[in-house]
């Protein structure tokens, strides 16, 4: 009787021991799991850094769902705008942005500090950043009436010295960007005038403005770009199919 009881208890102990061994995780799994968690954490950290540095849509020629130019390299949100704009878009406004020499992220920090913005910015490599959706008015040209009806474009020069030249890539992107803006906003023809009075009064359909139209004692956008405004209008109109 006692032997049967002892045998039964021994059997139970063996079964418990066996079950414990079966449920015990394999030793090699622990370091694998730890490594996987570390990799995920590190990867997430650097991804956050990239998003915070480059913007919501980081990468080259990323097609976004935002209202505006469909191919942008980075997009930043800003409180320095009026939403929505109060007028229909019928004007293109261009200025040189020396602070853009450091790139879109540097310009973002400048705008945050000095309460400015633009709809689009083109860097020296021809990449486009968006700061304000086209449906909103940017704080760009120091003239609310103009900014409410214009899509504003800030362009980085290749250096900070007059006449503030821009790169060929920047120029090409500027033409493509303006063409796209015109197509989407039913601007059938782009019209430039060398007369400031024509630009301010929009005489003869003039629908291009520059910063010097609204700010005294500035040559912005610089003679390099200013002297090419007529050519910009011509090249855009060719793409629009207008003589």
> Domain coordinates of the chain in residue numbers?
59-240
H-type helices in the chain, by residue range?
Answer: 2-23, 29-54, 104-114, 144-149, 168-184, 196-201, 222-226, 229-240
Pick out the chain residues at pLDDT < 50: 1-5, 7, 14, 20-21, 42, 44-66
The C-alpha atoms of residue 105 and residue 76 are separated, in whole angstroms, by: 9
Q: What is the dihedral of CA 168, 172, 174, 176, to 10 degrees?
A: -170
Query: Of 190, 113, 98, which Cα lies nearest the Cα of 150?
Result: 190
Chain centre to alpha carbon of residue 232: 23
At the second CATH level, the architecture of 59-240 is 3-Layer(aba) Sandwich (3.40)
pLDDT digits (tens, 9 = 90+) for 136-183: 999 999 999 999 999 999 999 999 999 999 999 999 999 999 999 999
Query: Of 112, 108, 109, which Cα lies nearest the Cα of 121?
Result: 108
Q: pTM of the predicted model, to two decimals?
A: 0.73
User: What is the predicted pLDDT for the residue at 52?
Assistant: 37
């Amino acid at each position: 009787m006692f032997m049967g009881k002892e045998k039964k208890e021994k059997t139970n102990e063996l079964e418990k021991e066996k079950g414990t061994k079966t449920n015990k995780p394999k030793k090699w799994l622990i370091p694998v799991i730890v490594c996987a968690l570390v990799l995920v954490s590190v990867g997430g950290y650097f991804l956050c850094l990239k998003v915070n540095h480059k913007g919501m849509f980081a990468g080259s020629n990323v097609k976004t769902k935002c209202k505006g130019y469909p191919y942008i390299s980075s997009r930043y949100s800003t409180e320095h705008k009026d939403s929505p704009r109060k007028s229909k878009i019928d004007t293109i406004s261009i200025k040189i942005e020396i602070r853009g020499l450091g790139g879109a992220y540097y310009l973002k920090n400048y705008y945050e500090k000095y309460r400015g913005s633009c709809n689009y910015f083109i860097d020296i490599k021809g990449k486009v950043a968006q700061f304000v959706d086209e449906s909103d008015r940017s704080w760009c040209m120091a003239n609310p009436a103009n900014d409410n009806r214009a899509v504003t474009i800030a362009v980085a020069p290749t250096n900070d010295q007059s006449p503030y030249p821009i790169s060929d890539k920047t120029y090409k992107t500027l033409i493509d960007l303006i063409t796209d803006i015109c197509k989407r906003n039913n601007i059938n023809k782009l019209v430039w005038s060398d007369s400031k009075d024509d630009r301010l009064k929009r005489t003869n359909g003039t629908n291009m403005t520059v910063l010097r139209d609204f700010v005294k004692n500035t040559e912005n956008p610089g003679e390099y770009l200013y002297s090419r405004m007529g050519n910009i209008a011509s090249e855009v109109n060719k793409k629009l199919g207008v003589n």
